[in-house]
A and B are shown apart, each in its own frame.
Chain A
Amino acid sequence: MFSFLNGKSPFDEAEERLEAGETVNGKPKLPTGPIMGWQDGVFLLVIIGLIVGGYQYYQYVKRNCAETFAKCDSLYVAAGEDASKFAEVETCYEATWDLAFVSDTLEVLRQNRLGEIEDMRNAQKDLLSSANDALDKGDTAAAAKIVTEYKGAMLLYTGDKSEWDEIVKIAEVQAAKEAAKAAAAEPAADSVANSAAKK
């Protein structure tokens, strides 16, 4: 009988039969019982199940990886139009670290895109540093100009981010003051113009 579990190969069994004299036309006599026992059947089914399951899982992991990267890629393309979306792109690529399988090509893509975002973060850090320098010199207008002109994504981490937000608040106060000054100057200019017209 063909068996995986009795420690013998079918060739061993055939050899044993031959040695025992069980021959038909000089060839080992073919087994007459069932081809394998139920334990072997179960064993074979488990092996087949593992192979099929493994293949299905591999396909699922590959598909999942491709879908996640495609999503990140479309976000990256959108960020090309609207730089503020780079934070989302980063979050998306960061989430790909949980994927079970990433091909080399996608790995290169991930590393390079995250590197690109890291560069942007460093550029924003440089701006923050310039704005802080301006504040130290008492030039709040220059600091406010730096943060208000920045149109990229907020990529700074907690500490730097709160510093940036503080400067944004200063910029808003600065802008409000200037608007109030301009509004106060307008009626005065109007009255000067009116009195000049009356004359």
Chain B
Amino acid sequence: MDSRLNEVRETFANFADEDGKWKYLLDLARAHKGMDASLKDEKFIIQGCASTMYLVPKFDGEKIHFEMDVEGGTTNPLISRGLGALALKVYNDMAPADILAVDPKFFQDIGLNVGLSPTRSNGFASLVKQIYLYARVYMALSKK
């Protein structure tokens, strides 16, 4: 878990300027594979995002696997998709307890929010909140 956080922290620390951060998010977005259309159910839409972002969790009893995709109608919301991919880079395929152990302010601390539009910033916060919510639910279920 720490290695993932350190990798992301280092990546952000090494950006020479703001442009580096945006291009990194574009790269993440382009490399991110979407999800099967059959998974795109309304109940998986992250509320508060400017684009339509789907986050589908799958718990195997140990770790949570997330599928994420963003739809933007006629536009290509690369930054939003990049933000989603970044969140998954940290939280995907982690045990619920490990997810909950990550400081929710991690992304704020590494400077992700700097220069991010309020809408995207709020959307990202909603996404992270939803990931923690799933982690709490699955942790509670696995204790039963």
Contact = CB atoms under 8 A, between A and B. Distances in A.
B and A form one assembly? yes
Interface of A: 94, 97, 104-105, 107-108, 111-112, 114-116, 118-119, 122
A118 B76 contact: no
B75 A116 contact: no
Interface stretch (B18-26, B84-92, B96-104, B125-133): B18-26
B9 to A, nearest CB: 22
A104 B74 contact: no
B142 interface: no
A31 B79 CA distance: 61
A97 B75 contact: yes
Task: Please indicate which of the listed interface residues A111, A114, A122 has the most CB atoms of chain B within 10 Å of its own CB.
Answer: A111
Nearest to B118: A119
A116 to B, nearest CB: 6
A117 to B, nearest CB: 9
Contacts of B77: 111
A106 to B, nearest CB: 11
B19 A118 contact: no
A114 B74 CA distance: 13
Contact of A118 (B23, B26, B78, B119): B119
A111 B77 CA distance: 7
Interface of B: 19, 22-23, 26, 50, 74-79, 117-120
Contacts of A111: 22, 26, 77-79
A116 B50 CA distance: 11
B50 to A, nearest CB: 5
B49 to A, nearest CB: 10
For the complex of A and B, list the 10 residue pairs with the smallest distance between their C-beta atoms, beginning with the closest: A115-B117, A108-B22, A111-B79, A118-B50, A119-B117, A119-B119, A118-B119, A104-B23, A119-B118, A122-B119
A97 B117 contact: no
A105 B120 CA distance: 19
B26 A104 contact: yes
B105 to A, nearest CB: 22
Contacts of B117: 112, 115-116, 118-119
Given A111-B22, A114-B75, A115-B50, 15 more contacts: A104-B23, A104-B26, A107-B78, A108-B19, A108-B22, A111-B78, A111-B79, A112-B79, A112-B117, A115-B117, A115-B119, A118-B117, A119-B117, A119-B118, A119-B119
A118 B79 CA distance: 13
A115 B118 CA distance: 9
A118 B50 CA distance: 7
Nearest to A107: B26
B22 A122 contact: no
Given A115-B117, A119-B118, A97 B74 contact: yes
Contacts of B118: 119, 122
Nearest to A114: B75
Contact of A115 (B19, B26, B120): B120
23 contacts: A94-B75, A97-B75, A104-B23, A104-B26, A105-B19, A107-B78, A108-B19, A108-B22, A108-B23, A108-B26, A111-B26, A111-B77, A111-B78, A112-B22, A112-B79, A115-B50, A115-B79, A115-B117, A115-B119, A118-B117, A119-B117, A122-B50, A122-B119
